[in-house]
Structure 1
Amino acid sequence: MDGTLLDDANGLHEHLWPLVRELHRRGIVFCPASGRQYHNLLERFGEVADDVVFIAENGTYVVRRGHELSSDGLALDVVGRLVATVRELAGSGADVGVVVCGKDMAYIERSDAAFRAQADTYYARLRVVDDLRTMLGDPLFADEVLKVAVFDFGSAQATTAPALAGFRATHQVVVSGEHWVDVMSPTANKGTAVRQLQQALGITRAQTMVFGDFLNDLEMMDAADYSFAMDNAHPLLRARARFVAPRNTQNGVVRTISAMLGLAWTA
């Protein structure tokens, strides 16, 4: 989504909608794969939601027509340790905030306007709680945690990622944007989710196109013969992909798919 399908104003191009409908008519599955919450994606794609499959929370949650196809969550004790680590980082002076990402809801304890503005962009269902660790220890807490996301108002790669390095031996710690770091199950990533979807729907690598721009898209590049890095992509992602698509600001995804299928497209 961000840096790939969305433009820099956080918008979807008007030509995406007729393209998705044409793909559905041809029996081709269109799948937004994002670090965003499922409910956020559902909100953005509401008018074509039954025609697409959603890979949400960086591959930890795959949903088709409201039905879960796969999920890969975190143990609550690990989530609690992650929250404590981010608190320590904030206590050392880093301007960071944590989001506990559940299937049903995202949860935060930092509630200032600046942080809320960032969290509200990616989480359509968001709840402020007094204390995340108290919430996690409550026996009545029933949501399944898929991911822990940390927003860093500075550089996520320079500050937050090193602070979470101790979790790398047992979990995925992914810099998913300039300001975001995501921690997930060791088996969870977008590439795994794409492969699970391919298996569920009988789709091969040779029948798959993927597009990405940042480090949380790396494994996805290995799941398709037609792997495209956006022209604005991170250098490591460009090196992993087989092809390059026009920038997100040039409607690169829609233009590339349309060209591959011989569909008319206008700027």
Structure 2
Amino acid sequence: MTATPASLTTAPDLPTVPADIRLIVTDMDGTLLDDDKAMPAGMWDLLAELRDRGVLFSPASGRQYATLAKEFAEVSEGMVFIAENGTYVVRDGVELSSDPLERAVAAELARTARRLVAEGVDTGAVVCGKRAAYVERTDEPFLAEVRKYYVEHRVVPDLTAVEDEVIKVALFDFGSAEHGVAPALTGFADTHQVVVSGEHWVDVMNRTANKGAALRGLQRELGITPAQTMVFGDYLNDLEMMDAAEWSFAMANAHPEVTRRARHTAPSNNDNGVLRTIARVLGVPLGRAGQAGRGGELFVTRRVS
């Protein structure tokens, strides 16, 4: 299959009148946020407009719930947060669903991270619980990376003895996660899901846990169909989410696998692609700030055979 570029204003497969979208779900890093981790200009105005129209906006991220809730604190009322790659879904502080990891598996992953470090791999494990994220490694470069995604984190002496309901274990690789840490976790892939969630991150979860599964559960609960759902993503932990919505968009900067899986392509995260695409499909006016990006053509593509 090939993708045929078209102007966002003239793409033939996009609606000439606003589409009936009831749910918008977007990844954060590399998708909604630009490369500086900044929220796009015009975000809060757009969220207010979507709320007025009865459209639910839901962040879906590998980040923990506390981090997402802080990012959207001023507009979080009624918002559903699909956190920890779908393993923990929360609305207004109330858990809607979760997919806990067996504590023995989390402990074995912590020991695996220790072994990799002993072998010279520059990595560290984050045991992700419902209350907080837990780490053993204490050097500032590692903790600086942890703080970006885990506002609630604690340094503990022994990751194998964490007293929390664990939902995921993440390993940070200062090199390439896809070519470094991920191959070392193949032994877990027989029984669990090992997903490269970013350039430097690998997440290990139950086989049943992913953003797509969380999204389908939310759709069932709210009575919203895939045809009424729009999703945006850029990396491998967004793949299943692409299958749960007819309006699926890979960012222009997305991993090739995500581009192949999505029905459409949106402008990059640095070109305010999420907001600009929502505005086009739903017929939402954006002010000058909301239209701003770092340059680049405003386009959407449809996969054709």
TM-score computed with the length of structure 1 as normaliser: 0.96
After superposition, the C-alpha distances for 1:66-119 in whole angstroms (9 at most, x for unaligned) are 111100010000001111111111111000000000011000000100000000
Q: Is the 8 A contact 1:30 1:51 kept in 2?
A: no
Choose from 110, 119, 137 the match for 1:92.
119
Q: Greater shift after overlay, 240-249 or 15-24?
A: 15-24
Choose from 223, 227, 248 the match for 2:244.
223
**CA separation in 1, counterparts of 2:53 and 2:193?**
36
Choose from 25, 28, 31 the match for 2:55.
28
Choose from 178, 198, 215 the match for 2:219.
198
Superposition CA RMSD, Å: 0.7
Deviation, 1:130, is 1.0
Higher strand share: 2
Amino acid across the alignment from 2:229: T
The alignment partner of 1:256 has SS state of helix
Residue of structure 1 equivalent to 2:173: 152
Amino acid across the alignment from 2:224: I
Choose from 90, 101, 111 the match for 1:74.
101
The alignment partner of 2:179 has SS state of helix
Amino acid across the alignment from 2:126: V
User: Is 1:113–2:140 an aligned residue pair?
Assistant: yes
Residue of structure 2 equivalent to 1:58: 85
Deviation, 1:8, is 1.0
After superposition, the C-alpha distances for 1:175-225 in whole angstroms (9 at most, x for unaligned) are 000100000011000000000000011100000000000000000000000
Report which of the two structures shows the higher radius of gyration computed on alpha carbons: 2
User: Is 1:243–2:264 an aligned residue pair?
Assistant: yes
Residue of structure 2 equivalent to 1:44: 71
Residue of structure 1 equivalent to 2:23: none
- The runs of 5 or more residues in structure 1 that have no matched partner are none
Amino acid across the alignment from 1:119: V
User: Is 1:186–2:207 an aligned residue pair?
Assistant: yes
Q: Is the 8 A contact 1:120 1:126 kept in 2?
A: yes
Amino acid across the alignment from 1:43: K
Q: Which 4+ stretches in 1 moved above 6 angstroms?
A: none
**CA separation in 1, counterparts of 2:32 and 2:223?**
25
The alignment partner of 2:56 has SS state of coil
Deviation, 1:164, is 0.5
Residue of structure 2 equivalent to 1:260: 281
Give me the identity figure in percent: 61
Deviation, 1:25, is 1.2
**CA separation in 1, counterparts of 2:147 and 2:271?**
26
**CA separation in 1, counterparts of 2:93 and 2:49?**
21
Would you say how many aligned residue pairs link Structure 1 and Structure 2? 261
Choose from 225, 232, 244 the match for 1:211.
232
**CA separation in 2, counterparts of 1:47 and 1:98?**
31
Deviation, 1:21, is 1.3
**CA separation in 2, counterparts of 1:221 and 1:157?**
21
**CA separation in 2, counterparts of 1:67 and 1:26?**
24
